[in-house]
Copies of this chain bind each other. A is one copy, B any other.
Amino acid sequence: MTRITGVRVHDVRFPTAAAGDGSDAVNRGDYSATYVELATDGPLTGAGFTFTNGRGNELTCAAVRALAHHVEGRPLADLWADPVGFARSLSADVQLRWLGPEKGVIHLATGAVVNAVWDLHAKEAGKPLWQLLADLPTGKLVGCVDFRHITDALTPADAAAILDRGRDGLDARRAELERDGLPSYTTSVGWLGYPDDKVRELARSAYADGWRAMKMKVGGEPADDLRRARIIRAEIGPDALLMMDANQVWEVDEAIARTAALAEADPYWIEEPTHPDDVLGHARIQRAVAPIRVVTGEVAANRVIVKQLLQAGAVRVVQIDACRVGGIPEVLAELLLAAKYGVPVCPHAGGVGLCELVQHLFAFDYLRVGTSLDGRMVEYVDHLHEHFTDPVRTRGGRYVLPREPGYSATMRPASVAEFRFPDGPVWARSGKPG
């Protein structure tokens, strides 16, 4: 019987700020991971992480240490028998909970630890995580969902009905994903830090590589946003999808006006138009800018926020995040909530390793929950995959379905050593972070 014997955490930071990669209206950082390794008394090591933006990664690392006593010494079989009880032992810790509750540093760290446990579950089963989940009987899957504070919108019976329906046609959907891969869109074309020529060249090259959906950042000067939107639209033609991402920079009324001013470039969606906690604000924006879709979720603090976005009709696409919330039990709750309300899920990715994680969530969602590819895409950002032992692969604008056992979260030891902050060679050479 496998037992978890120790929790190691590494502060890993990549010096991306200087290049302008990942720059948007409110963020300019060094893409970083709070990287967790769970040692066991067997041959397996669990890997999980949360993504941060540079400075402050030491806080999520310290939060992992504060949570470690909930996992150290635990038999893996016990955590598998009661996955929600385990996840809540972290998120409802009687002292640490005050620091959230279920949000911010403490919840990011919870996600890293819980995800690392699920990496172990999948490795022990010898399956990629998407398959471990998709193969589970409905009763067991329902027992993996954190329903706390969402039962007014989604009951265990609702979840069971959705997951049972998801068994119909499962084999055909799986064969389809294995053959065709996962539909996706690319965010690598239009960071705010990039000059026009680079944006044009990237859009052209993404189109040539088969991408038919791509995202640009907005929220800078109105004239700059519109000029860049026209450049990309000219490159990709009228049929490809162009998404726009404001990264929370606008007031509610401003979001409505600014989205209208960009309508000529035919945005498929406007992402994070205002503060991520503003459910009612998003609802008002969605009513005003329809048929343009309002989407958000990459920093939705927890399932209670996602529940309300759906209840209020505030979004037409939900962007779940693999690390922002408390790991698989909470992600499952969000996928099922979206299915209950009939809203497609397009997971947030990018950063460090988020693409590696969300491909599993997307595949499971298609196989057992959402069961449609209509309006569903995984985000893709072409950064930092080389640091993972089982990196995402894309072919013609689609993700290739992952095959290796686990959650694809394992980083290469050489990368951890090279980029560890502050003692890794990269930081020792370059000095202070951006």
Contacts and interface: CB of A to CB of B under 8 A. Distances in A.
A172 interface: no
A404 interface: no
Name, among A59, A63, A98, the residue most crowded by chain B CB atoms within 10 Å (CB to CB). Answer: A98
Interface string A54-73: 11101110110010000000
A277 B253 contact: no
B55 A93 contact: yes
Interface in A100-127: 100-108
A271 B213 CA distance: 47
Given A66-B56, A105-B59, A301-B103, A278 B308 contact: yes
Interface in A1-47: 17, 26-30
Given A30-B95, A97-B26, A251 B66 contact: no
Nearest to A151: B251
Contacts of A55: 66, 93, 95-96
Contact of A98 (B56, B107, B277, B305): B56
Contacts of A434: 95
Contact of A152 (B53, B252, B308): B252
Interface string A155-178: 000000000000000000000000
A343 to B, nearest CB: 16
Contact of A101 (B248, B302, B304, B312): B248
A63 B66 CA distance: 14
B62 A59 contact: yes
Contact of A94 (B27, B92, B98, B275): B27
Nearest to A54: B95
A103 B27 contact: no
Contact of A275 (B17, B62, B149): B149
A52 interface: yes
Interface stretch (A137-145, A279-287, A329-337): A279-287
Contacts of A30: 95
Interface in A247-298: 248, 251-253, 274-281, 284
Copies of this polypeptide in the complex? 2
Given A149-B274, A275-B149, A63 B105 contact: yes
B106 A107 contact: no
Nearest to A278: B304
Nearest to A275: B149
Given A59-B63, A104-B107, A277 B302 contact: yes
A394 interface: no
B99 A253 contact: no
Given A29-B95, A94-B26, A251-B152, A103 B277 contact: yes
Given A56-B66, A66-B55, A95-B29, A301 B280 contact: no
A59 B172 CA distance: 48
A299 interface: yes
A277 B304 contact: yes
A107 B277 CA distance: 14
A415 interface: no
Contacts of A279: 279-280, 308
A63 B302 CA distance: 21
A136 B199 CA distance: 49
Contacts of A102: 275, 277
A277 B103 CA distance: 10
A66 B58 contact: yes
A284 B307 CA distance: 14
Nearest to A277: B304
16 contacts: A26-B92, A29-B95, A52-B98, A53-B94, A55-B66, A55-B93, A55-B95, A99-B104, A100-B103, A102-B277, A103-B104, A151-B251, A151-B253, A277-B277, A277-B301, A278-B307
Interface of A: 17, 26-30, 52-56, 58-60, 62-63, 66, 92-108, 148-149, 151-152, 248, 251-253, 274-281, 284, 299, 301-302, 304-305, 307-308, 311-312, 433-434
